[in-house]
Structure 1
Amino acid sequence: MKYTTIKNTARKGIPEKLKSLIWLFLLCLSATGFAQNSDSRYRQPLEHTIRKIERIFHIQIKDNKGLLKDKELDYADWRIRYGRPELSLTQVLAPFDLTFFRDSDSVYTIRKFEYPRRSVHVGEERLQYLETLYDDKESWEKRRDSLKTCMYGALWLDKAPDAPGSKPILTGKRVYDGYSVENIALEILPGVYATGSVYKPYPLKGKHPVIVCPNGHFGQGRYRESQQVRCATLARMGAIVADFDLFGWGESRLQFPVGYHQNSIAATIQVLEGMRLLDYLLGLRHADPQRVAVTGGSGGGSHTMFLTALDDRVKVSAPVVMVSSHFSGGCPCESGQPLHLCGDGTNNPEIAAMAAPRPQLVVSDGKDWTHAVPELEFPFIQRTYGFYGAQDRVTNAHFPEEGHDYGKSKRMAVYRFMAKYLDLDLKKVENSTGQIDESACVTEDENTLKVFGDHGEKLPGNALKDIDALYRLFGKENKKTP
């Protein structure tokens, strides 16, 4: 009876209005609890949402590498933007660090996000945007000068110590038909040596053009046959030619193992190697400072563009298989430093255009990221040359059936281009039918091309081998080790 009395009293003591508020509060608690479970977050397998986007926009989305597998996304279908297929894809893929490439108007491929790589249509969008930033020589040069200053800083060149001034280490000279070769180690920073080979016309008389050949990521590095043949042929035509090892490649590995090539400082060192080798070459009494060129393929093509953009001593350039609006180089030695972020975002075609109005040959092919150059990147570069009335000074040699290399046909195009603008003698390398003949060039073995001996036994005692200490030379901290 007591319990009943208390119960009745309690019931009588709660107004009906308050009861309604309590029930509403309990209902809200229930809804809140419901919102915390996965169902009410509209969680869906990512693949389900991708297929829905396919249906809505009547497109095909390929997942060739199984990147959608086992991925689920909160509020997945709510992220779809009707009428905007690419924005819809971006919003559902970005949380997983995925992106897409548009293969055609109705076909897309899902890929992992890569900071240096985009699809062609994204490169086209960037070029269209860049064209809005300048429309005459004055506005372009303002942009160019700003980019140059920024790139110089992005590569830490403004913080580079002076070259030690030590004498270069040179090996014995080998003399062949119309040219000579000697290996060089040049101390570009305290204890840091650039290693390569110098090819000269033989006999050497009078003044000669200088050509620097940055190396690319091709097998065997600068020891490969095609590299030696190119340098030797240009020397036989009358040029003083120098190539050099990539950072952490070739003899550079004696100081910095190949894994260190993946450090961003590789980009800095390789640009600095090109500049300081040029200092040395132009100090030779037979060098003509008014005829200076740079050419390289792949990663060497990147550094051809960088060196030309940053060093006004370069008068002629030929970047090979690397001028692309949608790919800035997948190696830290090309894109590991933020030079492509300069000017609120630039790219290789705009960097190549910084050569204007100096003569430039852009070499491309149909089976790598330069396949669209004739229709996309080349007209963009030519537009900039047009500000100087110099459209005819930039040329595109395109090989639609070829792939990513610095092969014979590409070399032939470069030889004739260099002969035209450096006043080289093609007759010295032509056969009786007027064709350029490389057969007189001697391919040396790897040890013959080394400057520090077969096993590195002649490496100087002051050679720096500490990657962290290398960063400290620039006042920087190494935030990545292999």
Structure 2
Amino acid sequence: MKNNVSVFLFLLGMCFHHLTYAQTVESKFQQPLKEVLDEIEERFQVTIKYNDNQVEGKVVTYAFWRFRPDVDLTLQQVLAPLDMKVNKEGPGRYKLKEFEYHRWKEEDGWAFLQHLSSQYNDRSSWELRRDSLIPALRKALKLDPLPAIGNTKPILSKKRQFNGYSVENFALELLPGVYVNGSIYRPLKYNGKVPVVLSPDGHWGGHRFRKDAQIRFGMLAKMGMVAVSYDLFAWGESLLQFKSEDHQRSLALTYQILSGIRILDFMLSDPSIDRHRVGICGGSGGGNQAGLLTAIEPRITLSIPVVSLSSYHFGGCPCESGLPIHAVGKGTNNVEIAAMAAPRPMLVVSDGKDWTAHAQEHDFPYLKRVYGFYNAADQVANVHLTAEGHDFGYNKRKAVYDFLIQHFNLEAKGIKQKSGEYDESSIVVEEKEALYSFGANGELLPKNAIKGYDKLEILLP
């Protein structure tokens, strides 16, 4: 009898345990996110802005166990498991956002940059690190080995001549049936071989067709350089082959870096181009392209990333960070990748209103240190425009002009005034259709052109 009672009590205890456990698993002190945010606002007397679709259907487990005396820590505890965060917009004011994988806390980015810097103390140890990263980056980019090239010759439009320069559109076959389109700005007069500057761009409206971009390309040509602008993946004429939403897919990064490599091949096959003066200059996402392409391409002799370089921002688009380039070498970031340009000249242009706002505090000193391993600290420069924001405005262009004139030994007569300012008024801003290679409606798209991201995946498995 005693044994039976013991068994009964044991079984009863087990049932109670499982019932309690099931109830805990089922509820886990769950509360709808909206209710939790309401409680945070009331308890800490703050305001949290959000849209209904941001919180709809979202539930916080162990909700009120996540509260702490500090509002910022409470928000972190509540939102992190949901892959969400807040941006602080002022005293007591927050805005709810999805988790931004590409944007770290500033202090976390600086600490990681210091960790990277601690791995090398001289040229030899730095080059061991650099040389290990280059093949790893190529592999991460799906460019090791380089994929098969298309067989068609470059497609060139009729040249248009303006005051001191010409413009000619081009299309190159990157892969069988996959094209990149752009425009080549050339000086009408030059002596000897001429330098070339690749000009990838960022995500500004109008892309390479916008006014400030055309002004920059035309000015570079008038100074005696060849400037090559070209489309982002699934932007511009690339939309004849791919959908705009394809730009948010990982192979956008491969396409864009491969575009730079193929364009380099094309331009350096021209005997008039000076192989010792090969630059790349891009803004925003184009600046990240400039840093990455320079890191893996020894043919580039000068790099200018504009409003892009940051130790706590990794590029918020798959065309910048959609492949595991930042995971190579047990982790890297865009500043270390940019440093791989050393000792080649590099200008970093930063501003006070985006993720480059603190470039002078940590990122630029790091770059000076790496360049110092080559006794070339004077070859890296920073122009920081504290009062300006995320654009490619005149002061950014002026910094680019000055740096290229200095390092490519160009003549600015007739373009640069005695005051030091540049006269950009002679540059013609064309309608975007004039810069198309395949016609205003795509009627000249080659017959072998593929259409669809799924076909690109076959070429770049």
- What TM-score comes out, normalization by structure 2 length? 0.89
CA RMSD for the aligned pairs?
3.1
Q: Which residue of 1 aligns with 2:144?
A: 158
CA shift at 1:160, angstroms? Answer: 3.5
Query: Residue 389 of structure 2 aligns to which amino acid in structure 1?
Result: G
Q: Which residue of 1 aligns with 2:390?
A: 404
Asked whether the 8 Å contact 1:102–1:119 carries over to 2, the reply is: no
Bigger drift between 447-456 and 415-424 goes to 447-456
Separation in structure 2 between the aligned mates of residue 51 and residue 389 of structure 1, nearest angstrom: 58
Match runs of 1:53-452 below 5 Å: 63-65=48-50, 72-76=59-63, 92-99=78-85, 111-431=97-417, 433-452=419-438
Q: Which residue of 2 aligns with 1:3?
A: none
Query: Residue 49 of structure 2 aligns to which amino acid in structure 1?
Result: N
- Identity over the aligned pairs, expressed in percent? 45
Separation in structure 1 between the aligned mates of residue 68 and residue 131 of structure 2, nearest angstrom: 40
SS at match of 1:296: strand
Asked whether the 8 Å contact 1:42–1:77 carries over to 2, the reply is: no
Separation in structure 2 between the aligned mates of residue 89 and residue 120 of structure 1, nearest angstrom: 18
Distance 1:81 1:381, change over 3 A: farther
Asked whether the 8 Å contact 2:156–2:171 carries over to 1, the reply is: yes
Separation in structure 2 between the aligned mates of residue 82 and residue 103 of structure 1, nearest angstrom: 20
- What TM-score comes out, normalization by structure 1 length? 0.86
SS at match of 1:288: strand
Query: Residue 402 of structure 2 aligns to which amino acid in structure 1?
Result: R
Separation in structure 1 between the aligned mates of residue 177 and residue 34 of structure 2, nearest angstrom: 54
Distance 1:63 1:311, change over 3 A: same
CA shift at 1:101, angstroms? Answer: 6.2
Separation in structure 1 between the aligned mates of residue 92 and residue 336 of structure 2, nearest angstrom: 29
Query: Rg larger in 1 or in 2?
Result: 1
SS at match of 1:395: strand
Distance 1:466 1:63, change over 3 A: same
Separation in structure 1 between the aligned mates of residue 176 and residue 264 of structure 2, nearest angstrom: 18
Any unmatched runs of 5+ in structure 1? 1-13, 477-482
CA shift at 1:18, angstroms? Answer: 5.1
Deviation per residue, 1:159-181 (Å, 9 max, x gap): 43333353211111111221111
Specify which of 28, 37, 43 is matched with residue 23 of structure 2: 37
Distance 1:138 1:32, change over 3 A: same
Distance 1:271 1:43, change over 3 A: same
CA shift at 1:73, angstroms? Answer: 4.1
Q: How many residues align?
A: 458
CA shift at 1:271, angstroms? Answer: 0.7
CA shift at 1:30, angstroms? Answer: 2.5
Bigger drift between 440-449 and 97-106 goes to 97-106
Distance 1:104 1:20, change over 3 A: farther
SS at match of 1:430: coil
Any unmatched runs of 5+ in structure 2? none
